[in-house]
Amino acid sequence: MATDQVTAARTLKDPTHSAYLLLRVVFTVAPVVFGLDKFFNLLTHPHHWSMYLAPWIDDIVPGSADQCMYLVGVIEIVAGVLVAVAPRIGAWVVAAWLAGIIVDLLTLSGYYDIALRDFGLLVGAVALGLLARGDRNHTART
């Protein structure tokens, strides 16, 4: 039992593992919160998330822009849960999702600052994917 405690203490002191845990928590919580907010619009009040949907995307998806955002919300919630349960897969799903958001924002004039911020998040999701691969290797060695 003491060996397990020593191993756990060493793991918690490992900055790589700490960075992995931090990114895993952030990329679990943030997509779920943003996904839930697609239904409640608290973060975009008094507007709706649909203001971030490029017209060309609205033209090709069935239903209204608000209905599209409900689907986006469900996908974001699923992506966040996937990061929680399978970070080696979920991190790449979130990265791909963020790439799609960036394309949307770059084709929607006036939201370049948000696209740049989301690019930073995409890089963080990629880092999580890489760290998740390494964390599995680290866990197997200990």
Specify the pLDDT at position 1: 52
Alpha helices in the chain (DSSP H): 2-13, 15-40, 55-60, 65-85, 87-106, 112-141
Each residue's pLDDT expressed in tens, for the chain with a length of 142 residues: 566 765 666 677 889 999 999 999 999 999 999 999 999 999 998 889 999 999 999 999 999 999 999 999 999 999 999 999 999 999 999 999 999 999 999 999 899 999 999 999 999 999 999 999 986 555 444 3
What is the residue extent of each domain of the chain? 20-135
And the tokens for 53? Answer: 């949907």
Q: Enter the pTM of the model.
A: 0.85
